[in-house]
Amino acid sequence: MSEYIFKLPDLGEGTVESEIGEWFIKVGEHVAEEDVVGTMMTDKAAVELSSPVSGTVLKLAGEPGDVIAVGSPLVIIDTEGAAAEADDASTPEATPDPAPEAVTQTTRKAESATVEITENSEPEERSRVMTSPAIRRRAKEADIDLTLVPGSGPGGRILRKDFDNFLKARATGTSFVATATPSTNVKEIKIIGVRRVIAERMSAAKREIPHFAYVEEIDITELESLRKYLNTDRDTSQRLTLLPFLGLALIKALKEFPQCNVTHDKDRNLLLQHEAVHLGVATQTPDGLKVPVIKHAEIRSLDDLAAELRRVSLAARDNLAKKSELSGSTITITSLGRLGGIVSTPVINSPEVAIIGVNKAIERPVVFNGQVTVRLMMNLSSSFDHRFVDGFDAAAMIQRIKEMLEHPATIFLPA
């Protein structure tokens, strides 16, 4: 036997370990060179790994969710077995008949195994049925398989009334359904992949960052009127949402409040103040929350920003986003759309120091120009790292965004 040890390679960006995401192979299966054997999870994305050789899988490093260090054995492959199979296929050889004694011993083993399975299967099935000895005795006398009797007791236990009702139903030829009981089933879900990364990052963010929350109410009636006007002749797939307008207003406000466009390098005890705005967009995906990034949002027009927002969000949902598109943000916008509620407390996307949360827009009566009228109102719920952003600056920045969104023409004026 010639074993090839496929070790976990360096997946880049200083990765020292990685989590097994999914296996596409099993022990005993044949794998060809360049076949994808599985995926490994980094902090940013799932990376597919291909087999460097052909052969039979002898051993896998672990199950999905297990963490493997870079350089550790990932898959052990028998390459000699693969070569032997290839030789057998090209040059068939006659197989000698086994000796009579070997046949006899093999047959006996198979028979004993069959007997053991047959004998053990009935008690195993019977043990799954929960009921009293008295009901078991009655079932034996009546030649009734208890596995066919629905139980209404705790955990599906067969009660006397269940057995009596079953007997009555069988005698009359009617169907029998046990009285419904609360389910006691518990499904165990292993925390792996993106969900594990999200859990770890959220825990670290709440544990390490003192969040300062600030909520402001905004009248977006005029902004919504502008948005609808700009969407008049647009294709459905190209229509503008509120997010690109908010993005432009945020970018403009950050020029006045650069202390909010900062990332914290805790290893070097430094604040990195960025001139460029790399805008993170929190996106719900089937795998959990991801934050694709719009690089250099500060140089983009409204349409360009909207198009890039759609592109990176779709790539994240379809699991097609590159690692570079899921890292490097300097500030993040998050929105639950119509589920946005009245107020939320978004968790900061570390190492950033601020996150802007959008709540749902709703029409309601307000006082406007001295008159009670219906206006479209929306809240911004934002969080700031209070170690580096003072409450006054946080409030002032959100107020600046409020001014621009309530008077949307000012979003497009030069600074």
Of residues 164, 318, 390, 407, which has the active-site annotation? 390
Question: Is 186:213 a contact under the CB 8 Å cutoff?
Answer: no
* Annotation says 267 is catalytic: no
* Annotation says 211 is catalytic: no
Q: Residues 80-91: what's their mean pLDDT? A: 55
Backbone angles phi, psi at 328, to 5 degrees: 95, 10
- As a whole number of angstroms, the distance between CA 234 and CA 219 comes to 25
Q: Which numeric CATH code is attached to 123-184?
A: 4.10.320.10
pLDDT at 44: 64
**Beta strand 73-78 pairing with 211-219:** unpaired
Which residue type is seen at 55? G
Mean of per-residue pLDDT scores for the chain: 84
Taking alpha carbons only, the member of 72, 40, 71, 75 closest to residue 57 is 75
Range in 196-205, 295-304, 310-319 with the lowest mean pLDDT: 196-205
Of residues 219, 274, 386, 393, which has the active-site annotation? 386
**What percent of the chain clears pLDDT 90, i.e. is strictly above it?**
50
- pLDDT tens digits, residue range 303-321? 999 999 999 999 998 888 8
Question: Is 33:14 a contact under the CB 8 Å cutoff?
Answer: no
Range in 31-45, 102-116, 290-304, 390-404 with the lowest mean pLDDT: 102-116
pTM, full prediction: 0.65
pLDDT at 245: 97
In the chain, where are the structural domains located? 3-87, 123-184, 193-412
Beta-carbon-side half-sphere exposure of residue 163 (alpha carbons within 13 Å): 23
**Beta strand 270-273 pairing with 262-265:** antiparallel
pLDDT of 67 higher than 50: yes
pLDDT of 71 higher than 60: yes
Fold match, 3-87 / 123-184: no
pLDDT at 115: 35
Question: Is 39:18 a contact under the CB 8 Å cutoff?
Answer: no
Classify residue 394 as exposed, middle or buried by CB count within 10 Å of its CB (0-12, 13-18, 19+).
Answer: buried
- As a whole number of angstroms, the distance between CA 30 and CA 85 comes to 10
pLDDT at 103: 40
Number of C-beta neighbours around residue 266 at 10 A: 9
Beta-carbon-side half-sphere exposure of residue 89 (alpha carbons within 13 Å): 6
- Out of 3.30.360.10, 2.40.110.10, 3.30.559.10, 3.40.309.10, the CATH code matching 193-412 is 3.30.559.10
pLDDT at 110: 37
CA angle at 264 for the pair 260 and 268, rounded to the nearest 5°:
145
pLDDT at 135: 84
pLDDT at 10: 85
Structure tokens at 328: 């490097």
The strands making up 17-23's β-sheet, listed across from edge to edge, are 46-50, 36-41, 17-23, 67-69
Range in 283-292, 302-311, 356-365 with the lowest mean pLDDT: 283-292
- pLDDT tens digits, residue range 264-282? 999 999 999 999 999 999 9
pLDDT at 55: 92
Alpha-carbon radius of gyration of the chain = 32
Question: Is 223:408 a contact under the CB 8 Å cutoff?
Answer: yes
Question: Is 282:289 a contact under the CB 8 Å cutoff?
Answer: yes
pLDDT at 155: 65
Question: Is 63:37 a contact under the CB 8 Å cutoff?
Answer: no
Which CATH architecture describes the domain 3-87? Beta Barrel (2.40)
Most confident range, picked from 80-94, 124-138, 194-208: 194-208
pLDDT of 410 higher than 90: yes
pLDDT-derived band at 124, boundaries 50, 70, 90: very low
Higher per-residue pLDDT: 265 or 123? 265
**What percent of the chain clears pLDDT 70, i.e. is strictly above it?**
84
Structure tokens at 67: 């963490």
